[in-house]
Amino acid sequence: MPDRKIPAPVPTPDTEAFWQGARAHRLLLPRCTSCGRLHWYPRPVCPFCFADIVEQVEATGHATIYAFSVARRTPESFAIAYVTLAEGPTVLTNLVGCDFDRLRIGQAVRLVWADAEGGPPVPTFTPL
């Protein structure tokens, strides 16, 4: 079954650096320059120590499925999931290019970029 079309994201000033990286197929994570912790979602203030200087670091694109749900009662079935990146943060994403019946919690996945309808590419994941 073909993957569903993903609506284009709307970048904001807080997420613009992330979407610039996405245009270059680079998954960027915010890291606080004060406490050194990575966090997700992109924002200008660290949620751990409240410092206001963050830098962008590139993720490897390797992750494991933390939780997932398959929507089958839609015109096009799709799977969404929380995946925990190798770097630590857990992100909400789509699972693509796979048999939904074979998905498992703890399963290794890797980053693949999906075209969005009229916007920057969106990070999605597929099983290894």
* CATH number of domain containing 28: 2.40.50.840
The domain total for the chain is 1
Q: With bands split at pLDDT 50, 70 and 90, how would you rate the model's confidence at 49?
A: very high
pLDDT tens, position by position, 70-119: 999 988 889 999 999 999 999 999 999 999 999 999 999 999 999 988 88
Phi, psi dihedrals of residue 43, rounded to the nearest 5°: -160, 155
DSSP state of 38: B
End-to-end CA distance of the chain: 18
Distance CA 23, CA 121 (A): 6
The answer to whether residue 1 is domain-embedded is no
Task: Evaluate if residue 1 carries a pLDDT over 50.
Answer: no
What range does the domain containing 107 cover?
Answer: 6-127
